[in-house]
Amino acid sequence: MIWISLRRAKVSFSVLEIADRLNIKLVNRTGNEFVFICPFCSGQKEYPKLYINQDKGVFVCHHCHLRGSITDLWALRCGVDTKTAYKQMVNSVSADIQPIESEPVPIKDTEKLNLIYNEFLKMLTLEPRHKEDLLRRGIIDTSGFKSLPEDAKTRWNICSILNRKYGLDDVPGFREQISRKGKPYWDCYRSGMLIPVKDVYQRLAGFQIRTEREPKYIWFSYRSQSKSCVNVIPGKGIPWIIEGVLKSYVTNHFLQIPCFGIPGTDTWRLVPFELIRGGKVIVAYDMEDNPYSLKARDSLISHLDSIGIEPVVAGWNKTMGKGIDDACLYVFKQGIKPRPEMFLPGIAA
């Protein structure tokens, strides 16, 4: 039996055993190299182009250009991350093979974006440092947040799968690049945490990226591609307009209020005002003396007045922090449950 060793791992796997468990058909063997029918690009027509090198523990398909380690192969075949893949391989867990359609599925616009972005998220993991960041902000349910893979091969493989299945031509955040050898491949942004932006039906419309440098927030979208807009968290009660998408998640968690998270002070124009019920809205911009920010807030307020919606401006002591999310967290850390009325005009004991 032929064994391959995984880098930095003490466990060896048999190429044939792994291929068998993944239901990949062997067609040939030349020295150290095994040739299989590629399960990723073969449909009606089979492509015997998947090579696995037993010494290096790597695979490559010379038809669809997927490549990676044996663990990557397992991960891609089963639709799990590599950590899970490794565990399943070691523990002889039977492979739960994900069907991959070779023909692009035609879907339109918002539905298509939602489908692709959801599938994209499923293939990503959340880096511990990003998870810690979310927990520090007060977000307990971190399941909707993911990290962009810094490993280029992982990114290319994921993009390649999505492109083959749906076609990424009109999908913001992805673009086709040309390798040094002149071969086209798909890629996306290479680092940061994805903050989902959803519409009122809770369909994924796009992402903001929390970067680890300035600017802190960018769109998951290249120049000339459309930008996702306002994050909508629907529900009963007076709606809030909150400056910041991530802040809308934090504030919703603490105050249980329906809200719109706008990506910047000036982007209030993107709010779907027609969704607002009850004729009243609470505006929670950062407590800043910045004249541009104040001007933007004032123009939002006069717009609300002009369309017959009563604006109420939320406020708090600046020592509690700049944003409504900081203020909620501040109250929470005092051992008090934050409530919406704490940030609204009034007198209370």
Residue ranges binding Zn ion (CB under 5 A): 38, 40-41, 61, 63-64
Q: How far is the CB of 60 from Zn ion (least distance, A)?
A: 9
Residue 185: what are its φ and ψ, rounded to 5°? -150, 160
Q: How far is the CB of 42 from Zn ion (least distance, A)?
A: 7
Please identify, using beta-carbon distances, which residue of 41 and 329 lies nearer to Zn ion: 41
Please identify, using beta-carbon distances, which residue of 38 and 195 lies nearer to Zn ion: 38
CA distance readout (Å), 83 to 3, 71, 74, 123: 21, 8, 10, 12
Please identify, using beta-carbon distances, which residue of 39 and 323 lies nearer to Zn ion: 39
> Could you identify the residue written with the tokens 């035609």?
106
Please identify, using beta-carbon distances, which residue of 63 and 131 lies nearer to Zn ion: 63
For the chain, how many residues are written?
Answer: 349
Q: How far is the CB of 64 from Zn ion (least distance, A)?
A: 3
How far apart are the C-alpha atoms of 152 and 338, rounded to whole Å?
A: 42
- How many CA atoms lie less than 13 Å away from 292 in the CB half-sphere? 4
Q: How far is the CB of 47 from Zn ion (least distance, A)?
A: 6
How far apart are the C-alpha atoms of 322 and 330, rounded to whole Å?
A: 11
Q: How far is the CB of 120 from Zn ion (least distance, A)?
A: 20
Please identify, using beta-carbon distances, which residue of 24 and 259 lies nearer to Zn ion: 24
Instruction: Concatenate the DSSP letters of all residues of 28-84 into one string.
Output: EEETTEEEE--TTT-SSS----EEEETTTTEEEETTT--EEEHHHHHHHHHT--HHH
Please identify, using beta-carbon distances, which residue of 64 and 121 lies nearer to Zn ion: 64
Give the other-Cβ count within 10 Å of 28's Cβ. 10
The single-letter code of the amino acid at 243 is E
Please identify, using beta-carbon distances, which residue of 53 and 191 lies nearer to Zn ion: 53
The region that residue 165 occupies, defined by phi over 0 for left and psi between -120 and 50 for alpha, beta otherwise, is alpha
Q: How far is the CB of 73 from Zn ion (least distance, A)?
A: 11
Residue 245: what are its φ and ψ, rounded to 5°? -70, -50
Q: Where does residue 254 rank: exposed (0-12), middle (13-18), buried (19+ CB within 10 A)?
A: buried
Q: How far is the CB of 338 from Zn ion (least distance, A)?
A: 52
